[in-house]
């Protein structure tokens, strides 16, 4: 799984940020952690599916956080379109 794509300045991390950009339709790909709280990320994943976006799974929140270059676990992240 190419989590290296998240080493981009166009990444957004966290439920609120990803949801905000999804609603603006500015996301091209979504990443989520397998061990994330399903109740919290499910609405975001459903919205991403409705928009026809690619969705990738990371094995854990810690690994997803590291891929996003943050020192905390991350449940969800995404890549924005170039602006």
Domains and CATH numbers, the chain: 3-80 (3.30.1330.30)
List C-alpha distances in Å: 60 to 20, 33, 67, 76, 81: 23, 5, 11, 10, 25
Q: Round the CA-based radius of gyration of the chain to a whole number and report it.
A: 11
What average pLDDT is seen over the chain? 93
How sure is the predictor about 1, in pLDDT bands with cuts at 50, 70 and 90? very low
pTM for the full predicted model = 0.92
Q: What is the pLDDT of residues 58-79, one digit of tens each?
A: 999 999 999 999 999 999 999 9
The angle, 0 to 180 degrees and rounded to 10, between the axes of the packed helices 38-50 and 15-23 is 20
Three-state SS for 47? helix
Residue with tokens 């997803």: 64
């Amino acid at each position: 799984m190419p989590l290296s794509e998240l080493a981009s300045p166009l990444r957004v991390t966290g439920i609120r940020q990803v949801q905000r950009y999804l609603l603006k339709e500015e996301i091209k790909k979504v990443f989520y952690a397998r061990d994330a709280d399903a109740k919290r990320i499910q609405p975001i994943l459903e919205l991403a599916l409705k928009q026809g976006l690619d969705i990738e799974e990371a094995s854990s929140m810690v690994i997803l956080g590291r891929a996003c270059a943050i020192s905390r676990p991350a449940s969800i992240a995404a890549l924005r379109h170039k602006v």
